Amino acid sequence: MSPQEQRHPGTVPGSTPGTAPGDGTLAVRAGLPDPVKHEPTLPGPVFAAHFHLPGDPTGPYTYGRDENPTWTHLERALGTLEAPGESGVETVVFASGMAAVSAVLLSQLSAGDAVVLPTDGYQALPLLHEQLRAYGVEVRTAPTGGDAQLAVIDGAKLLWIETPSNPGLDVCDIRRTVAEAHAAGALVAVDNTLATPLGQRPLELGADFSVASDTKGMTGHGDVLLGHVACRDPRRAAEVRRWRKIVGAIPGPMEAWLAHRSLATLQLRIDRQCATALELARVLAGHPDVTGLRHPGLPDDPSHAVAARQMRRFGSVVSFELADRARAERFLEELRLVDDATSFGGVRSSAERRGRWGGDAVAEGFIRFSVGAEDPEDLIADVLRALDAARKAG
């Protein structure tokens, strides 16, 4: 193994094992190899289906479905962000967030097991409900808010938490939920997509798995589909990695390289987006056309007390309701600085009437608004103008 492959996943160049630099330093330096004269600081993507492999098939790189040097750098970077200063975290990258979600559920569960999933989680989770039941797994569901999932945890093999939930932005107490789930004999996986590791670190709060769609805030430019799973238990990590190999849900080297490059601006992006999201939420809180406003950073939000205990940043997503479907669609049409798109966490603000997809228990006028990196005053002015225009249009 080369010197570039030896660094512990939780450290960055120049840092001392067991200590953690600031978020900006972590984001900029995470996963970079040790400097070598005349070599780039971040090596370019390695495009290879196979590698020279004389003799016994040993070593880190044997075949392109198993490992790739570009993945190695990215996985090390993500592990550093998930658990700064720790050396025992393993990270596995996937071709998408749903590939990462599926890998945890389908590698850890088998016929006769029970799993607890949120009723208000990501819209594609019900597709997994169907598949899990087909495999003989008992699927139990409960909402995120109020730690309601704990009421159905007895006898379950795995508890799946999504906090803040998407799109309703409810929050559960990760530390308490993990403690009670572990006492009941269940593993805990946390979908951390909305918060990102800069918002909260599930592994530090006791979770067994931290899972994310890196398509969203982690890469932040709306041009990469990617996901990852991080955990401390090497046996669990091996099971997840084996599932990736079996189904071939591997990221392309170009996507992995783009993701690693994008991490350098993570702290800059997240800080700007979270600050603007809170400012927008405060403005919307006093608007007569807005009801059902949710953002964990608002002091009067139902989830604020729990979020403030476990989150370091409150996220870039704001949700609210307008009077009906027609009013919501007129609002979206009037926006000039916001894309009508279904993702979130990007540098360009986006919003959508979430009910158009079906599958989410939301009102017809429900808006999920993802705040980007535009100037706050420009974005807020655009939102207020669009609300006014939608009202005047009837």
- The per-residue pLDDT for 5 is 41
H, E, C per residue of 307-355: HHHHCCCCCCEEEEECCCHHHHHHHHHHCCCCEECCCCCCCCCEEEEHH
> What parts of the chain have a pLDDT lower than 70?
1-19
Identify whether the C-beta of residue 250 lies closer than 8 Å to the C-beta of residue 244. yes
Identify whether the C-beta of residue 165 lies closer than 8 Å to the C-beta of residue 191. no
Q: How far apart are CA 29 and CA 263, in angstroms?
A: 9
Catalytic-role residue among 7, 29, 216, 241: 216
Catalytic residue flag (residue 37) = no
Catalytic residue flag (residue 65) = yes
Read off the pLDDT of residues 94-122 as tens digits, 9 standing for 90 and up: 999 999 999 999 999 999 999 999 999 99
Read off the pLDDT of residues 346-387 as tens digits, 9 standing for 90 and up: 999 999 999 888 878 899 999 999 999 999 999 999 999 999
With a threshold of 0.75, does the pTM exceed it?
yes
Q: How far apart are CA 70 and CA 269, in angstroms?
A: 23
- The per-residue pLDDT for 2 is 38
Q: How far apart are CA 306 and CA 310, in angstroms?
A: 7
Catalytic residue flag (residue 216) = yes
Catalytic residue flag (residue 191) = yes
Identify whether the C-beta of residue 364 lies closer than 8 Å to the C-beta of residue 321. no
CA nearest to 251, candidates 215, 218, 216? 215
Catalytic-role residue among 65, 140, 312, 325: 65
- The per-residue pLDDT for 3 is 33
- The per-residue pLDDT for 4 is 37
Indicate the SS3 state at residue 263: helix
For 36-184, where are the E strands, in sequence order? 90-94, 114-118, 138-142, 158-162
Catalytic-role residue among 23, 120, 173, 191: 191
Q: How far apart are CA 322 and CA 328, in angstroms?
A: 6
Which neighbouring-strand residues pair with 94? 227
Tokens of residue 29, six digits: 């330096």
CA nearest to 45, candidates 224, 239, 313? 224
Q: How far apart are CA 93 and CA 86, in angstroms?
A: 19
Phi-psi region of 375 (alpha: psi -120 to 50; beta: other; left: phi over 0): beta
Helices (H), 1-96: 23-29, 69-82
Read off the pLDDT of residues 37-75 as tens digits, 9 standing for 90 and up: 999 999 999 999 999 999 988 889 999 999 999 999 999
Identify whether the C-beta of residue 104 lies closer than 8 Å to the C-beta of residue 229. yes
Identify whether the C-beta of residue 21 lies closer than 8 Å to the C-beta of residue 62. no
- The per-residue pLDDT for 35 is 94
Q: How far apart are CA 293 and CA 74, in angstroms?
A: 36
- The per-residue pLDDT for 14 is 56
Bridge-based pairing of strands 209-213 and 227-231 is: antiparallel
Tokens of residue 328, six digits: 């919501």
Catalytic-role residue among 76, 122, 244, 294: 122
Cα(first)–Cα(last) distance of the chain, in Å?
67
